[in-house]
Every structure is written in structure tokens, then in C-alpha cells.
Chain A
Amino acid sequence: MAQATDTLPHDDHHDQPDTGIKRWLFATNHKDIGTMYLVFSLIMFFVGGAMAMVIRAELFKPGLQLVDPMFFNQMTTLHALVMIFGAVMPAFVGLANWMIPLQIGAPDMALPRMNNFSFWILPFAFTLLLSTLLVPGGAPAGGWTLYPPLVLQGGDYFPMVIFAIHLMGISSIMGAINVIVTIMNMRAPGMDLLRMPLFCWSWLITAYLLIAVMPVLAGAVTMLLTDHFFKTSFFNAAGGGDPVMFEHIFWFFGHPEVYIMILPAFGIISEILPTFSRKPLFGAVSMVYATASIAFLSFIVWGHHMFVDGMPLAAQMFFMMSTMLIAVPTGVKVFNWTATMWRGSLSFEPPMLFAIAFLFMFSIGGFSGVMLALVPADFQYQNTYFVVAHFHYVLVPGAIFAIMAAVYYWLPKWTGHMYNLTLAKTHFWLSTIFVNVLFFPQHFLGLAGMPRRVPDYAVQFSDWNMVSSIGAFGFGLSQVLFAIVVIQCIRGGQKASSVVWGDALPTGLEWTLSSPPPYHSFITAPEIK
């Protein structure tokens, strides 16, 4: 031991970050890496958002005005890939990086070098993905699901998209392994699994999902690659393969992926609602079991994405039933959140506002999901704007509102400053109003029969499309406020106390540390009472 300290730099005693660019390039600190994840996610949120603005501008009125249909399709495809893999998932990993060591009383993430690796793959992956816009033939335009045979007819973008997805998968798997190892191995003594904060629980379960399904996506896109370049026949009926097989493999990944994007959000809401209701979470243990059930069920519902593919009736019935079953554990969660607020002493700080909005609007998305689960109804709804409205309600006022709630909840803890509450509340109200103006009319459009992924539409859809586009521009502009609030808060502001939220008295180990917390969170494990 003595020899070790002589010959190796005694790194673990450094309390100060490196200066300059080295701090970020060579980062091993969970807070630095978490910050990079969150900043990257915010940038991608605006990149993907800009693409959404192009889409909604083109759909503002019928006819082709701004972009040609090919470019429109590239925008819908890239918007999805950027938002899913670039904005939502990295934001949750960034929050995990920041909060899991703080919440379980650990000095850092368990595997700090791998943590850096999983972050720094992402900028390269998205460089690859976005540079497809510059190659001959343009970016992928067949939808983010990359269905063959359409995607196999692509030009030079094709291998770029495949490898970008491989890189994102490698990054996600390493991030997920790090989360599981950290939670299983780095908890402070006395932090039993069932005493662990709900955010960590939801991330633990999410990480299992990630490790189980990201390799399957890698396998699926590898088969696309070999079908395109190496003469395999996985998705070619003449050779005995089946294009529908891709859909099965893809959605075996794709449906758990949906829960990867919402389970951490559940964890965040389960942290915030009790704080600002000044009551403990109602049914905390049942929340854990509900999350685990949702995760399990997510593996056996993938067929509901492909009801019109001509699968056997028995399979349709099975996937319909199993999908509707998910409403049970989800209902448990919504009930528990409501019961947490029941007769609580509520206050409406920005994180609480976003959490309550999540509860309402995520439920709307959940209900339309149950409608889509019904096979005969789905035959009507499939490939219409109803589907678009459904998953945007789950992902925007669901996942993204939860991310914003989390940022507003923990930002003073991270920076040591309180942000501009008035501006944040303005951001909340503008976002909430506009997100409904944006997405609610899409339910009507879909039920009236407007197909998705079209740059032009029949004139009877004009009014609601215009409303929806106005909502989109309003929502997009409101997000500039979010960036302003965050940047202002990083640069300075009123000093935040260690508890931040005053009389709300949030529970959890992160609030026992100063704001901002020391560079290495818990060098010695805290005592859990």
C-alpha cells in the first residue's frame, strides 16, 4: 500500500476539477459527466425542435410551400431519432449521473472511465447521424423505425445511420451497466433497496431494460446492413426471409424503449410530488412493484405496433390483452401520485407545476394508448395523427415535462443558486398552454382520418393543422425561456441553501450536502438513519 501511494499519482484525493478543456474531455467525475449529458441533451432538444418547426411550418396550410416532400420526410425521420436518442435518453442519463451517487451516498459512479466513454460516444454518433443531411441522396427519410424494404433502398446515408445507431447503443449499454453497478454496489451502509429513493429505483429498472433491448436493436440494424451490402435474405421474401420479421425484432426493442423514456420520469415525479405536498409518497413500495410490472409487461406487448401486418388472430388478441394489462400498474402509479397530493399542504413552485401537469397530460396520453391497444379500433387509428397525438402526449408533457421538472427541482442544488422563479413559472404556463394547442387538435385530425408523415393534406384538415402549428411555434419559442432560466442560474443568482426548498423539507441524501455539493459527493459513506 505504501508503495502504491508513492508510485501512482494519488488521484482520489483531488478535490478540485482540472482546468480548461481537459476537465471535460478526460472527465471521470459524475457531476461533470452529468452536466455534459444535460447540456448535450439541451442542444439536441433544440436541434430536434428546429426540425419539428420545419414540419409544422410546412403543415401550416395545405399544399407544398416551404420544403420538398423528400426533405420533409427526412425531417420527420431525423426529428424522431434526435429527440429519442439525443434529447430524452441522454437527459435521463445525465440526471442519473448527477443524482444517483448523491441519493445513495456514493463518492461517484462505480465505473468512472466507462462513464466518460459512454458520454463522449454520443457527440460522435450524432455528428454521424446529422451529417447524413450533407451526403448525396440526403438523410434517411423512411421513418425512424427503419423498416425494410424502404430503408434498404437508401443512398449513402444508409451505413451512416446504421453505425450511428450502433454507437448510440454502445453508449446506452455502458451507461446502463454503470447505473446498475453503482446502485447494486455503491449504496451507503444501511441504504436498503426498499429505502432507496424512487428515482434510483426507476433508473435501476430502466437500466435492466436498456441492457436487454439495446443489443437487440443492434442485431436488427446489423441484419439490415448485411441485407443491404452482403446479400443476406433476412427481410427478403424471395430468399425465405420476411420484412415483417424486422418489425418484430425492432419492436421487441421499440416497446421497452418507450418505457425507457418514461420510467425515469415516473421516478422524478415520485420525488417531486411528496416534497411539495409535504407528505410522504403514498404507497412507495407499491410504486416499485408497479414500475417492475410495467417493465416486465413491456417485453410482451410489442405486437400492438403492427396489428395491421396480418399477424394471426391469436397473436393480435394476446398483444391486445397484454397491452391493456399495462394500464393496471400505470393506474396504480397515477392513483398513488394523486393520493400523495390528497390533503397535502401544496405549494406550486416550478417543479411542482411541471409534475402536476405531467400527471394530467401523461394520463391523457395513457388513455389514448388504451384506445390504440384495441385491435379493431387500432385498424382505424393506425398511421393517423391520432397516433402522433398519443405518443407526443406521452413524450412531451410526459417525459420532457418530467425532465424539466427535475431540472427545476435540482438546478439550485447543482449550481448553488436559486433561479428566476417568475421566469420559470412563465415558461411553465406558456409551455403547458402551447403544448395542448399543439397536440390536442391532432387527436381530432387523426380521428377524422389524416395520415401521419405527409407533407400535404386534404383541405378539410386545414383549420386544426393551423391551430396545431401555431401551438408548435409557441411551444418552440417558450423553450428559449427554459434555456435563459438555466443559463442565468448557472451564472449566478441568489444563494440557495442546502435544503433549497425551505419549508417543503425534501427528503433524500442529496439535501444533506451543500449547494453546490462538493466535487466528490460522499468521500466517506453517510449514516442512514
Chain B
Amino acid sequence: MAQAHATEADKYYIPHGSPWPIYGSVTLFTLMLGAIATLNNWLPAWSLLPGFVMLALLFVFWFNTVIGENQHGIYNLAVDRSFRLGMMWFIFSEVMFFAAFFGALFYARELAVPWLGGEGVKIFSKLLLWKHYDGAWPTNGPGHVGPRADGSFETVPALGLPAINTAILLSSSITVTIAHHALITGHRTRLKIFLAATFLLGFTFVALQAMEYHEAYTELGLQLGTGIYGSTFFMLTGFHGMHVTVGAIMLTVIWFRVLNGHFTPQRHFGFEAVSWYWHFVDVVWLGLFIFVYWL
């Protein structure tokens, strides 16, 4: 894109009239109407289906258009930079979304639960409200909210599946970096192998997480409704698991694009965006492993 194409390359591509954004708005609206109808018991759960189908199609249509435009080389370096900045700030917004839930965890552990146990000036909540509650973590609260009749529950030990999952995600971060280097140096075969390894590790993580959830629900008495511990545990790991699933699907799409000969050593924003996203879910996991499972 250097001097030879100066006139074309200087032109910032402005698409003219695109149907996908408005289709996307209708999709989100449909999806949320389905969720509202389901939650309010207006309609059975199938009312969510149209929204999800439309959402899947939205991604196919919209990304198809963008990938097509990109393959035709009408994006200059300035457009590429816009995409990069856009992705970075999107990931920042995701960081802040997780921050809300980490904030809830820290607030509950460090302030709300000790106060319920009568710490400091909150002595009256112990004297008058919850006489037998000591406020120790992990807890499902002074009301022992949870599925078991006796109010007990067990936690997932950090050194079991979670440690294996940590190893899996960290390795997948390494494999995606190896794939990236292979892409830059033009080793397409190595790129294909290590990218495939990355999304396979990703899906393995999701499968192990599902096993862990199953065990928690059936054997540990640990559910979404198990007081504040279950709430923070499942919301944090659940949203993270959703992000890993989405990231692994994105990696798969990128892998098929690689098989189709997309991406050059110089220009491969799609690949980089997905790998940034992957590193982001990896870092979130480290936070989860330390603060949710371990400490």
C-alpha cells in the first residue's frame, strides 16, 4: 500500500448504505422481546429462538460483507487502524463489565459479609439480627440460602479442575502467539496447526468447565442460588465461560479463513483482533483463578 497506489490508498473507505446495522437493531430487539416474553411467562422459551437465529445470521451477513470488502483490498491502512482502535476499546469495555462483577465479589467478601457477622460498628446486626452468623467466607449468608435442606454447600477446590483449566488456557495463549509468529514469518502450515490447537484447547476448557458445573450442581450443593458465594462464583465464571465460547468460535472462524488463504504477513487485523480477545479472556481467567477459586 505504499506510494504506487497513493491516490486509492489515501481514500478512507466509507460504505454507502448498509442494511446490516438496522437488521442488527431489529435482531437485538427481537432477542430481547423473546427474553422478556420468556421471563414474564407470556410465552414458552421457544420465543427466544427467532432472536438467536437472527443473531447468528447477523454475524454471518455482516462479517461476510466486511471480509469480502477486505479481501478486495479496499481498506487502506487508516481503516485498519480504525478497526484496531475499535477492538481495543471494545475489549476495554469488556474489562469494565467484568470489573462490575469482581467489584461485587470484593465488596461482598471484604465489607458486606463481615458486616453481617457484626464486624466493627455493625455489632448490632449480630446482636439483633443474625446471632449465630460469623461472617466467614465462603458463605451463603446468614439465611443459608441454597438448594440443600441443611443450608450447607461445598466449594470447588482450586487444585483440581480449575488448575488444569488454568494450564489449558495459559497454553492456548502460547499456541495463539506461536500461530501469530508463524503468520508473520509466512509459515502457513505451522499457523494452521497452532491455531487449531488454540481453539481445541479453548473448547476443551469449556467442556471441563461444563463438567465442573455439573458436579457443583449435583454433588456440591453449589448453585447460582447458593447465597452470595454461588452468585459471584457462577456469574463470574459463567460470563467468562461465555466469553471463552465466543472466543473459541471466533478462533475457529479465523482458522477457516486461514485455510482459505486469507491474511498476509503484513495485514491480518482479523487474526490479531481475535488473539487480543483471547488474551483478554485468559487474563480474566487468571483473576478468577486467584480470587474465586484459590484465595
Q: Indicate whether A108 reaches chain B with its CB closer than 8 angstroms.
A: yes
Are B107 and A240 touching (Cβ within 8 A)? Answer: no
Are B15 and A112 touching (Cβ within 8 A)? Answer: yes
Q: Indicate whether B93 reaches chain A with its CB closer than 8 angstroms.
A: yes
Chain B nearest CB, measured from A265 CB (Å)? 23
Which of A3, A181, A249 is the one whose CB lies under 8 Å from B85? Answer: A181
Chain B nearest CB, measured from A325 CB (Å)? 23
Distance of A523 Cα from B24 Cα, bound (Å): 29
Are B28 and A170 touching (Cβ within 8 A)? Answer: yes
Interface set, chain A 211-250, CB cutoff 8 A to B: 211-216, 218-220, 222-223, 226, 229-234, 236-242, 244-245, 248-249
Interface set, chain B 224-251, CB cutoff 8 A to A: 224-225, 227-232, 234-235
Residues of A within 8 A of B115 (CB): 242
Residues of A within 8 A of B230 (CB): 232-233
Are A234 and B69 touching (Cβ within 8 A)? Answer: no
Are B69 and A110 touching (Cβ within 8 A)? Answer: no
Of B94-102, B182-190, B261-269, B279-287, the one contacting chain A is: B94-102
Are B121 and A28 touching (Cβ within 8 A)? Answer: no
Q: Which residue of A lies closest to B231 (CB)?
A: A232
Chain B nearest CB, measured from A61 CB (Å)? 38
Are A215 and B107 touching (Cβ within 8 A)? Answer: no
Residues of B within 8 A of A22 (CB): 17
Distance of A523 Cα from B10 Cα, bound (Å): 10
Distance of A27 Cα from B17 Cα, bound (Å): 5
Q: Indicate whether A503 reaches chain B with its CB closer than 8 angstroms.
A: no
Distance of A124 Cα from B104 Cα, bound (Å): 30
Q: Indicate whether B40 reaches chain A with its CB closer than 8 angstroms.
A: yes
Count of residues in A whose CB is under 8 Å from the partner chain: 83
Residues of A within 8 A of B92 (CB): 211-212
Residues of A within 8 A of B100 (CB): 215-216, 218-220, 223, 249
Residues of A within 8 A of B5 (CB): 1
Are A117 and B142 touching (Cβ within 8 A)? Answer: no
Which of A25, A159, A244 is the one whose CB lies under 8 Å from B40? Answer: A159
Residues of A within 8 A of B132 (CB): none
Distance of A212 Cα from B29 Cα, bound (Å): 24
Chain A nearest CB, measured from B229 CB (Å)? 7
Are A186 and B12 touching (Cβ within 8 A)? Answer: yes
Q: Which residue of A lies closest to B9 (CB)?
A: A1
Q: Indicate whether B90 reaches chain A with its CB closer than 8 angstroms.
A: yes
Are B112 and A110 touching (Cβ within 8 A)? Answer: no
Are A237 and B116 touching (Cβ within 8 A)? Answer: yes
Residues of B within 8 A of A128 (CB): 29, 32-33, 36
Distance of A27 Cα from B40 Cα, bound (Å): 35
Are B96 and A211 touching (Cβ within 8 A)? Answer: yes
Are B104 and A223 touching (Cβ within 8 A)? Answer: yes
Q: Which residue of B lies closest to A212 (CB)?
A: B96
Which of A12, A110, A112, A237 is the one whose CB lies under 8 Å from B11? Answer: A12
Of B74-82, B154-162, B198-206, B212-220, the one contacting chain A is: B74-82
Which of A1, A127, A230, A233 is the one whose CB lies under 8 Å from B140? Answer: A233
Chain B nearest CB, measured from A215 CB (Å)? 4
Are B16 and A215 touching (Cβ within 8 A)? Answer: no
Q: How many A-B residue pairs have CB under 8 A?
A: 246
Residues of A within 8 A of B62 (CB): 113
Chain B nearest CB, measured from A90 CB (Å)? 14
Are B82 and A110 touching (Cβ within 8 A)? Answer: yes
Are B32 and A239 touching (Cβ within 8 A)? Answer: no
Chain A nearest CB, measured from B287 CB (Å)? 15
Chain A 1-45, CB-CB to B under 8 Å as 1, else 0, gives 101100111011010001000110111110000000000000000
Chain A 60-74, CB-CB to B under 8 Å as 1, else 0, gives 000000000000000
Are A185 and B228 touching (Cβ within 8 A)? Answer: no
Q: Indicate whether A121 reaches chain B with its CB closer than 8 angstroms.
A: yes
Task: Given A230-B224, A237-B116, verify A124-B86 contact (CB < 8 Å).
Answer: no
Are A231 and B72 touching (Cβ within 8 A)? Answer: no
Distance of A216 Cα from B92 Cα, bound (Å): 12
Pick the most buried of A117, A184, A524: most chain B CB atoms within 10 A of its CB.
A117
Are B96 and A213 touching (Cβ within 8 A)? Answer: yes
Chain A nearest CB, measured from B113 CB (Å)? 5
Are B12 and A26 touching (Cβ within 8 A)? Answer: no
Of A91-99, A160-168, A336-344, A483-491, the one contacting chain B is: A160-168
Residues of B within 8 A of A252 (CB): 103
Distance of A26 Cα from B121 Cα, bound (Å): 59
Are A215 and B97 touching (Cβ within 8 A)? Answer: yes
Distance of A111 Cα from B29 Cα, bound (Å): 22
Q: Indicate whether A56 reaches chain B with its CB closer than 8 angstroms.
A: no
Q: Indicate whether A177 reaches chain B with its CB closer than 8 angstroms.
A: yes
Residues of B within 8 A of A163 (CB): 32, 35-36
Q: Indicate whether B173 reaches chain A with its CB closer than 8 angstroms.
A: no
Are A160 and B229 touching (Cβ within 8 A)? Answer: no
Distance of A524 Cα from B140 Cα, bound (Å): 63
Are A215 and B113 touching (Cβ within 8 A)? Answer: no
12 A-B contacts (beta carbon < 8 Å): A14-B16, A117-B24, A159-B40, A166-B32, A180-B89, A236-B145, A238-B142, A239-B143, A241-B108, A241-B141, A241-B231, A312-B120
Write the residues of chain A forming the contact surface with B, with a CB cutoff of 8 angstroms. Answer: 1, 3-4, 7-9, 11-12, 14, 18, 22-23, 25-29, 106-108, 110-114, 116-117, 120-121, 123-124, 127-128, 156, 159-160, 163, 166-167, 170, 173, 176-178, 180-181, 184-186, 211-216, 218-220, 222-223, 226, 229-234, 236-242, 244-245, 248-249, 252, 312, 520, 523-524
User: Other than the known A113-B18, A212-B96, A219-B101, what 7 A-B pairs have Cβ atoms closer than 8 Å?
Assistant: A11-B15, A26-B22, A112-B15, A117-B25, A220-B100, A232-B235, A240-B112
Chain A to chain B: the 10 pairs with minimum beta-carbon distance, closest first: A219-B100, A238-B143, A231-B225, A240-B141, A11-B16, A240-B228, A242-B112, A232-B231, A215-B97, A117-B21
